[in-house]
């Protein structure tokens, strides 16, 4: 065995403020969609692993919820899940939206990161929409707070800097046997992925508090000769939100269902029959059962 054939494998925890582009970068590095993405903050609610392979190296990317000052139980559990994802990582990769630059959230994350022992790297994201002149000063400002081992400037949109980040992360992975089979791209179950895909459509199609007051649970999954039948429940907190999710004559939920189904068929490579039910469960965001479904710790 030489360095070209010997297996390497390690964990890169991807952290940053909400909307920094974490899930997008994880998907780009994995080479397919494993995490949902939306223009709204706090899209990701629980950690997931996306697995990228670069020749003899397996890079396990931990996509985490955005870190911010949490107020509600769900928010606390999300932020806790993010920090937990960093512990023991071979590298913590901090993402900062280059367009938005320094914010209170970024400042607070940097303060906590500065006390951590894991090697840290920085990626300025969305460089395609950021001012070119601002990039270097922002990188310098952040490196003055934490001496990052590497600083990248990337755009998942144009692919700028992606090869560089992939090569550098791979080279930093320890000599270790792969943790996952070669064809596995993420650690989440198909049922959870399906719930996430529907939740993404809620985030894309609904506004104000409604996406934040909603969750999606996969109730059943049946494989038959005519494809996969999936029953899901969309839980909301109030009757008025149920009305919004349903839309006029059920048009909104129909649209959500048809977009989710199309994407699931694409991912699963099979015909999908998706059945959505909208229910009011006032306290879902405080119920232990919902957290178990989402992969979050209710006690935090």
Ligand X SMILES: Nc1nc2c(ncn2[C@@H]2O[C@H](COP(=O)(O)OP(=O)(O)OP(=O)(O)O)[C@@H](O)[C@H]2O)c(=O)[nH]1
Binding site for ligand X (CB under 6 A): 16, 18-24, 37-39, 41-44, 65-66, 125-126, 128-129, 155-157
Q: Which is nearer to ligand X, 39 or 181 (CB)?
A: 39
CA distance 291 to 284: 9
Residue 257 contact partner, candidates Mg ion, ligand X, none, CB within 5 to 8 A by sort of partner? none
Restricting to residues 5-64, name those near Mg ion by CB under 5 A.
22-23, 43-44
Q: Which is nearer to ligand X, 126 or 201 (CB)?
A: 126
* Helices and strands in the chain: count of H runs, count of E runs: 9, 9
Rounded to a whole number of angstroms, the minimum distance from the CB of residue 204 to ligand X is 9
Residue 42 contact partner, candidates ligand X, Mg ion, none, CB within 5 to 8 A by sort of partner? ligand X
Retrieve residue 73's tokens. 């139980």
Residue 85 contact partner, candidates ligand X, Mg ion, none, CB within 5 to 8 A by sort of partner? none
Torsion of CA 277, 281, 282, 283, to 10 degrees: -130
Rounded to a whole number of angstroms, the minimum distance from the CB of residue 70 to ligand X is 13
Which whole-number Å values give the CA distances from 158 to 95, 155, 161, in the listed order?
17, 6, 9
Rounded to a whole number of angstroms, the minimum distance from the CB of residue 202 to ligand X is 14
Q: Which is nearer to ligand X, 38 or 56 (CB)?
A: 38
Rounded to a whole number of angstroms, the minimum distance from the CB of residue 124 to ligand X is 10
Q: Which is nearer to ligand X, 10 or 16 (CB)?
A: 16
How does strand 91-97 pair with strand 57-63?
Answer: unpaired
| Nearest one of 93, 87, 84, 97 to 52, comparing CA atoms | 93
CA distance 124 to 18: 14
> Which of 82-104 are b and which e, b meaning 16 or more Cβ less than 10 Å from the residue's Cβ?
bbebbeebbbbbbbbbbebbeee
Residue 218 contact partner, candidates Mg ion, ligand X, none, CB within 5 to 8 A by sort of partner? none
SS3 82: helix
CA distance 245 to 252: 6
CA distance 300 to 297: 6
CA distance 250 to 252: 6
Rounded to a whole number of angstroms, the minimum distance from the CB of residue 150 to ligand X is 18
Rounded to a whole number of angstroms, the minimum distance from the CB of residue 35 to Mg ion is 6
186 binds Mg ion per the rule CB under 5 A: no
Number of residues that bind Mg ion (CB under 5 A): 4
Q: Which is nearer to Mg ion, 43 or 232 (CB)?
A: 43
Q: Which is nearer to Mg ion, 44 or 120 (CB)?
A: 44
The residue whose Cβ lies closest to ligand X is 66
Rounded to a whole number of angstroms, the minimum distance from the CB of residue 42 to ligand X is 5
Residues in contact with Mg ion by CB under 5 A are 22-23, 43-44
């Amino acid at each position: 065995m030489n360095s070209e054939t010997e297996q390497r494998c390690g964990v890169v925890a991807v952290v940053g403020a909400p909307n920094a582009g974490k899930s997008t970068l994880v998907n780009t590095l994995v080479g397919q969609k494993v995490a949902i993405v939306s223009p709204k903050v706090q899209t990701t609610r629980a950690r997931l692993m996306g697995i990228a392979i670069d020749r003899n190296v397996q890079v396990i990317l931990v996509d985490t919820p955005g870190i911010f000052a949490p107020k509600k139980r769900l928010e606390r559990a999300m932020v806790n899940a993010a920090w937990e994802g960093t512990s023991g990582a071979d590298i913590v990769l901090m993402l900062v939206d280059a367009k938005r630059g320094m914010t209170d959230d970024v400042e607070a994350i940097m303060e906590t990161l500065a006390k951590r022992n894991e090697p840290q790297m920085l990626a300025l994201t969305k460089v395609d929409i950021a001012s070119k002149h601002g990039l270097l000063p922002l990188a310098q400002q952040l490196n003055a707070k934490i001496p990052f081992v590497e600083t990248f400037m990337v755009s998942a949109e144009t692919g700028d800097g992606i090869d560089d980040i992939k090569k550098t992360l791979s080279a930093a992975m320890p000599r270790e046997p792969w943790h996952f089979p070669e064809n596995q791209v993420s650690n989440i179950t198909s049922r959870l992925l399906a719930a996430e895909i529907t939740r993404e459509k809620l985030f894309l199609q609904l506004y104000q508090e409604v996406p934040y007051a909603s969750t999606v649970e996969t109730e059943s999954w049946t494989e038959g000769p005519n494809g996969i039948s999936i029953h899901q429940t969309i839980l909301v907190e109030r009757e008025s939100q149920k009305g919004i999710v349903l839309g006029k004559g059920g048009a909104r939920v129909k649209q959500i269902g048809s977009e989710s189904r199309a994407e699931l068929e694409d991912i699963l490579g099979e015909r999908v029959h998706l059945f959505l039910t909208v229910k009011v469960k006032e306290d879902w965001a405080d119920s232990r059962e919902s957290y178990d479904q989402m992969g979050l710790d209710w006690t935090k």
